[in-house]
Amino acid sequence: MHETAIVAGLMRIITQQASKHGAAHVSRVTVKVGRLRAVEPQQLRACFEMFAEGTVADGAELVVEEIGVRGRCRGCATEFDVPRYHFQCPACAGNDIEVIQGQELFIENFEASSSPPPAVDPPLVPK
């Protein structure tokens, strides 16, 4: 469950950035995750939901954009999408491949508002 540690990092960034920008509520967070990171988007979202509870991002949607693996052949410089972690050059069949995409793990942006979130259960004020 390394998703826990990743989400802890995510929450730290969101909390910092939200207060820096005076955001009262975060409604949507977008992260980019390369397929060489062994991160389960579903676990990431479940974990985020838990960590976000009671914070500025309570109830926010986590959008996980997965990024496929791309390689560059060190033999002939061909760039190609790596299918199923099979690192072999389609042009020269070489197997000395540099990873040029697929190791991303970062937050891209989040949507915030300066007003607090609408209360789920608006308290009834009798009068």
If one asks whether residue 31 binds other proteins (CB under 8 A), the answer comes out as yes
d(CA 41, CA 106): 13
Contacting positions for Zn ion (CB under 5 A) = 2, 73, 75-76, 78, 89, 91-92, 94
If one asks whether residue 46 binds other proteins (CB under 8 A), the answer comes out as no
Least distance in angstroms from the C-beta of 48 to other proteins: 11
Comparing CB distances to other proteins, the nearer of 23 and 126 is 23
Stretch that binds other proteins, among 47-55, 57-65, 100-108, 119-127 (CB under 8 A): 100-108
d(CA 117, CA 124): 17
State the DSSP code for 55.
S
d(CA 23, CA 116): 9
Two tokens at 119?
């209360």
* Half-sphere exposure in the Cβ direction for 103 (13 Å, CA): 4
Two tokens at 63?
């959008």
If one asks whether residue 52 binds other proteins (CB under 8 A), the answer comes out as no
Stretch that binds other proteins, among 19-27, 46-54, 56-64, 119-127 (CB under 8 A): 19-27
